[in-house]
């Protein structure tokens, strides 16, 4: 990290969590791509979840704020006022997901009094507590909190509909920006021993996924679907989280513990994902999963429930393998069909790679985010 420099714009990032997940990786990618002309400070509603900070480039001025008022807790005027006071002195405020909504509310209530900077809020999806349906109390809270927000950025069509409907945000405020990656980085074939604790051996085929090991990802569903595949197929789940033991227990109960591998979190998926022969997603809730775009850029076919925008993300030829939400049998059948047909996997993977390169490259994403931030600041260009 570099030292602050006089004259740079100061941005405060208020995250629900700053662990190394999808939205955090996107945020870090934007920070790195906007370059050293900006100075950043980061707050996490989960104070121990700060792992994404390590991926910010050394040339970027970044400060992790450990003494910021808690973003999570019982709402009160005093706590919201403390958050608002702590947000003073920045040029742009960027908040992320429900876990940072109290900061958005503090901005709505106290921005004029404290002369707070413009705020842009980002929503990327829901945890297990809202995967089955939105909570009316949270809808109400968001409506009020977002009153003074300059923009609300969402990655998916479904979230755009929710923002305009349930949260009653006008079309001029809601901005849908698809997640993007450096698609050029995903073309190489990794070494078979690139992962810790697991080596891809001759003759093996891998079903792979990138996911936090959380209940909403429903990775036990993937283990059950994996059980019917031929013995040369292995399941490799890249990620960390509280569901690790439950996933392994599911595999042991199905007598496939030796075919299910959890090597942990991978800092750079582009260096690993090419080991997969097939990509699968098993979540109960997603919006615009970055992992699907990464799989596509690596030339992989995708099997997934039709959560969020997944069916629109993949190439049209891959859509028959995006199955109805909650239909575990259909998901398992899609996985089995793709596993059994190498030519089909190759054809779908080639089509997915072309679509990722044309629609979801990082350069387009950065340009669109820059335009939203510039508009909030009344600038013609950002940074």
The enclosing domain of 166 has a CATH number of 3.40.50.2000
Kindly state whether residue 252 falls inside one of the protein's structural domains. Answer: yes
Say yes or no: 249 and 369 in one domain: no
In a domain, 4, yes or no: no
> In this predicted structure, what is the pLDDT of residue 129?
75
Report the pLDDT value the prediction gives residue 6, as an integer from 0 to 100.
Answer: 55
Answer whether residue 2 is part of any domain. no
Total domain count for the chain? 2
Q: Do 233 and 251 fall within a single domain?
A: yes
- Which residues of 141-211 form beta strands (DSSP E)? 151-154, 174-176, 205-210
Percent of the chain with pLDDT over 90: 87
The answer on 203 and 103 residing in a single domain is no
Question: What's the pLDDT at 125?
Answer: 83
**Parts of the chain with a pLDDT under 50:** 1-4
Does residue 350 share a domain with residue 270?
yes
Q: Where in the sequence is the domain holding 151, given as residue range(s)?
A: 9-180+362-377
Q: What is the pLDDT of residue 131?
A: 67
| pLDDT value of position 3 | 42
Positive or negative torsion for Cα 209, 177, 34, 60: negative
Give the list of residues 6+ apart from residue 364 with CB closer than 8 angstroms, or none: 178, 180
Q: Are residues 211 and 334 in the same domain?
A: yes
Q: Are residues 163 and 193 in the same domain?
A: no
Q: pTM for the full model?
A: 0.77
Residue 382, in any domain of the structure: no
Beta bridge partners of 210: 238
Q: Looking at the structure, tell me whether residues 54 and 167 fall in a common domain.
A: yes
Q: What is the model's pLDDT at position 2?
A: 44
378 dihedral zone (left: phi>0; alpha: psi -120 to 50; beta): left
């Amino acid at each position: 990290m570099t030292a602050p420099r006089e004259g740079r714009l100061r941005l405060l990032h208020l995250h629900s969590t700053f662990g190394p997940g999808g939205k955090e990786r996107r945020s870090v990618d934007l920070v790195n791509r906007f370059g050293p002309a900006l100075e950043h400070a980061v707050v996490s509603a989960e104070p121990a979840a700060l792992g994404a900070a390590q991926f910010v480039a050394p040339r970027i001025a970044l400060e992790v704020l450990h003494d910021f008022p808690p973003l999570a807790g019982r709402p009160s005027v005093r706590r919201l006022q403390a958050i608002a006071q702590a947000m003073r002195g920045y040029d742009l405020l960027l908040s992320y997901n429900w876990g940072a909504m109290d900061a958005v509310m503090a901005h709505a209530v106290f921005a004029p009094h404290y002369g707070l900077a413009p705020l842009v809020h980002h929503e990327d999806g829901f945890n297990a507590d809202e995967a089955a349906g939105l909570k009316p109390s949270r809808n109400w809270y968001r409506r009020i909190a977002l009153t003074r927000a300059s923009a609300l950025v969402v990655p998916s069509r479904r979230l755009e509909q929710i923002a305009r409907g349930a949260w009653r945000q006008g079309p001029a405020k809601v901005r849908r920006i698809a997640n993007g990656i450096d698609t050029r980085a995903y073309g190489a074939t990794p070494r078979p021993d690139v992962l810790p604790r697991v080596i891809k051996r001759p003759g093996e085929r891998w079903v792979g996924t990138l996911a936090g090991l959380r209940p909403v990802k429903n990775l036990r569903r993937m283990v059950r679907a994996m059980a019917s595949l031929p013995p040369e197929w292995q399941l490799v789940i890249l990620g960390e989280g509280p569901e690790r033991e439950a996933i392994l227990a599911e595999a042991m109960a199905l007598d496939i513990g030796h075919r299910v591998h959890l090597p942990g979190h991978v800092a750079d998926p582009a260096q690993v994902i090419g080991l997969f022969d097939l990509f699968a997603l098993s979540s109960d809730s997603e919006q615009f999963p970055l992992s699907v775009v990464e799989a596509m850029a690596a030339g992989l076919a995708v099997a997934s429930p039709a959560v969020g925008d997944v069916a629109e993300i993949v190439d049209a030829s891959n859509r028959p393998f995006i199955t109805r939400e909650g239909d575990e049998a259909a998901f398992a059948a899609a996985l089995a069909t793709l596993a059994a047909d190498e030519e089909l996997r190759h054809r779908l993977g080639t089509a997915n790679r072309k679509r990722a390169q044309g629609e979801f490259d990082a350069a387009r994403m950065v340009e669109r985010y820059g335009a939203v931030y510039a508009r909030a600041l009344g600038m013609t260009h950002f940074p």
